[in-house]
Structure 1
Amino acid sequence: MPIELNRFSKNLSYELTAPIQNIVVDLQEIAEIDKLAEIKQKQSGKKALYYFLGLVASVVVIFIIPIFAVVIILVVLGLIIVFIRELITWFKFSKLNISNYRYEVAKQILQMLDRDIEKTADVELQLSFQPIDKKEYKTTTMPHPDKSGWKIDNHEHVWLKIQGQFLDKTRFQLTANGLSKRQYGWKRSSSGKSKHKSKTKSRGLDISLILNYSQRRYRSVKILENEISDAVKLPATSYMRGVKVTDKEMHLVVRVASQMAENKEEIYQTIAMMFLSLYQVLNLAKKLAK
């Protein structure tokens, strides 16, 4: 379905329950919107700069050649109008200049999952392009351990959620939860003046994968509970935070290092290996059941 541009610009999120091919088409449209916004934003930024320089030059000319002051004032008014117009255009398209890695990761994952899902089956995708350090995503505030008077705000935002069912009737839920921290406080400069400083850093990316499997087909999974940790293979920049096994589901949580939290290839490889690792356990359980 076509992306509603005004709604997308306001919410910076996308949700749809549909077959994978339909969702991929929408993600491609989002990519095109993002590329267009990036081009338009750069163009508006350059034009605004040129108009601003024109304003400065016009003001200088008024003082140098006052005889043309009336004409130049009209030029200045015109430049002010077009300068403001380009600034408005710049801000408009800056909202649509979104994080590429999010829709690219979502597309890669869906195309990977498509091989093992019924072509007409619905998959649910929730994808957010909101910044992780947005005020509403703050979870905790704590004193800075090393800087007196400083504080740290921790933020979390689930920007990706995918749910669906594989051909073997195993249901899955995948989420990506971005983590960040903002340090802020007053710092005294060498001149003696106090300035308010802040710095935002990524704390990494938590990826959660839940598989609800068929007890009849994979009834021996519980027997392998102690071996699951060894079965999980991950990229060097990711590590397992926890794994839980019940008679109905397996739940794996992995942390991607902060320096790779926005790297689409690293995120995709981590997610792919999470699926492969848990399915290795399911396939072994299936053999044991026989």
Structure 2
Amino acid sequence: MAIDFHQLRLERVYRATAPVRGLMADLDTIRGIDAELDRKLAAWSKGKRISGYLALAGFILAFIPVVGVAGFGLIPLALLSLLVCSLVASRYQKLDLENRRYELVARILQQLRKDIAPDEPVTVEVDFHPASDPRHLKDQGMVRDWKTQSFVQRWLSFQVRLLDGTLLRLGMEDRVQTRSRTRRNPRGKYKTKRKQKGVSLLHVQLRVKPERHPQLAGLQEQARKAVRLPKGASLARLDVAEDRLALRARMPHDWTLREDVKSPFCDGLRTTMMSLLSLYQVLNYSTGLRKQLPAKVSP
């Protein structure tokens, strides 16, 4: 599949339904686009810093009699360069794509590709808007003298039918709260203080045929015992029904994609795969119970 960069830049959402190889090619293209944007952002940010230094040098030179004229001539050029570099750098900053989001999808596909048929379509949607984007605002109010805003963003949707017939659904959700407070200090100046806290929620669901797992609905306790999560992640919810298993895990908002991280940091990929394996342990246990049932005798 060919990535429409213009559409991705406008919508900041990647949507696709394709086999694993097609999605991997798309994500590799997105990785290259993001790297190019990062290089341009770094170049224009460097130009902004240099322009600022030149403007400062111009002001200093302006007070030196011998080179004062040169200093006055340098100031407007440096300020104009500073303005242009700032505007362009700001534009590239807004186009930046959060690496963790597309890299998580790519690594999940790498882990699952042996369990997915080569031509099986995988449906993926990744939202690259920041979690605190106004479109994700859910609530706002006051806590003491703090103005609060709460945001909820479901930025990942992933669905595929695995080789064993199980329908896998994955989702990632960010919940962020921002706080701001403006006070006047003793010198009469107003100062605004800002805080932010958040959490990321991983959703994993397996849908199965009830006839293959007839006792699944009664395995709530076994399912809870089977859940194993890495340090930094915790179980938020577990649902067991006759045709599905669903798990929600809580992770720090600053989760990473590194296996060597230590608590309170958390590896997003490891949390995803351990959650999936935990649910599959329950399915395997249910399969074992079904095999222990006496075979039906034909009349």
* Residue number among 161, 164, 172 corresponding to 1:176 in the alignment: 172
For each residue in 1:26-70, what CA deviation from the matched residue of structure 2 results, as whole angstroms up to 9, or x when unmatched? 111111222222221111111222233334444555665699959
Tell me what 2:3 maps to.
Answer: 3
Tell me which residue corresponds to 2:218: 223
2:61 touches 2:71 (CA, 8 Å); kept in 1? no
Match of 2:40 in 1: 40
Cα contact 1:242–1:254 (8 A) shared by 2: yes
In the alignment, structure 1 residue 249 sits paired with structure 2 residue 244: yes
Q: Is the 8 A contact 2:213 2:242 kept in 1?
A: no
Contact between 2:137 and 2:150, CA under 8 Å: does it hold in 1?
yes
Aligned to 1:271: 272
Tell me how far 1:277 sits from its aligned partner.
0.6
Unaligned runs of 5+ in 1: none
Normalised to the residue count of structure 1, the TM-score between the two structures is 0.87
Deviations 1:203-228 (A, max 9, x none): x1111111110222222212322211
Structure-1 residue corresponding to 2:54 = 54
**Distance 1:196-1:105 versus aligned 2 partners, 3 A rule:** same
The Cα offsets for residues 176-199 of structure 1, whole Å up to 9 and x where unpaired, read as 001111112223435354423222
CA distance 1:57–1:67, change in 2 (3 Å): closer
1:141 aligns with 2:140: yes
Distance change in 2, residues 1:194/1:83 (3 Å): closer
Select the structure with the greater relative contact order (CA < 8 A; seq sep ≥ 6): 1
* Paired residue type of 1:24: M
**Is residue 95 of structure 1 aligned with residue 91 of structure 2?**
no
Which SS does the other structure have where 1:131 is aligned? coil
User: Counterpart in 2 of 1:199?
Assistant: 195
After the TM superposition, which of the residue ranges 189-198 and 225-234 deviates more from structure 2? 189-198
Contact 2:61 2:67 in 1 (8 A): no
1:208 to 2:203 alignment = yes
Summarize the Cα distance change of 1:280–1:70 in structure 2 as closer, same or farther, 3 Å threshold.
Answer: closer
Alignment CA distance shift 1:16-1:69 (3 Å): same
2-structure distance, mates of 1:198, 1:67: 44
Please give the secondary structure, in 2, of the residue aligned with 1:216. helix
Distance in structure 2 (CA, Å) of the matches to 1:60 and 1:239: 57
Shift of the 3–66 alpha-carbon distance from structure 1 to 2, 3 Å rule, reads farther
Matched to 2:171, the amino acid is T
Could you tell me which residue of structure 1 aligns to residue 155 of structure 2? 159
Contact 1:33–1:96, Cα closer than 8 Å, also in 2: no
Deviation at residue 152 of structure 1 after TM alignment: 2.1
Partner of 2:286: 285
Identity %: 24
Distance 1:5 1:63 in 2: 50
Structure 1 pair 179/168, CA: closer, same or farther in 2 (3 Å)? same
| Partner deviation per Cα, 1:224-281 (whole Å, 9 max, x = no partner) | 22211111111121111111122211111111134xx431241111110111011111
Could you say which residue in structure 2 is the equivalent of 1:20?
A: 20
Following superposition, the deviation at residue 120 of structure 1 comes to 0.5
Between the aligned partners of 1:60 and 1:184, the Cα distance in structure 2 is 38
Greater Cα offset, 86-95 or 102-111: 86-95
1:220 and 1:67 map into 2 onto residues whose CA distance is 88
1:131 pairs with 2:124: no
**Structure 1 residue 71: deviation in Å?**
11
Which segment is superposed worse, 266-275 or 54-63? 54-63
Cα distance in 2 between the residues matched to 1:194 and 1:92: 29
Separation in structure 2 between the aligned mates of residue 182 and residue 215 of structure 1, nearest angstrom: 44
Tell me the distance in 2 between the aligned counterparts of 1:67 and 1:201.
52
What is the deviation of 1:128? 1.5
The total of aligned residue pairs comes to: 283
Per the alignment, residue 262 of structure 1 pairs with 255
- Provide the aligned C-alpha RMSD in A: 2.4
Q: Secondary structure at the match of 2:214?
A: coil
In 2, the alpha carbon distance for the partners of 1:82 and 1:142 equals 41
Native 8 Å contact 2:173 2:200 kept in 1: yes
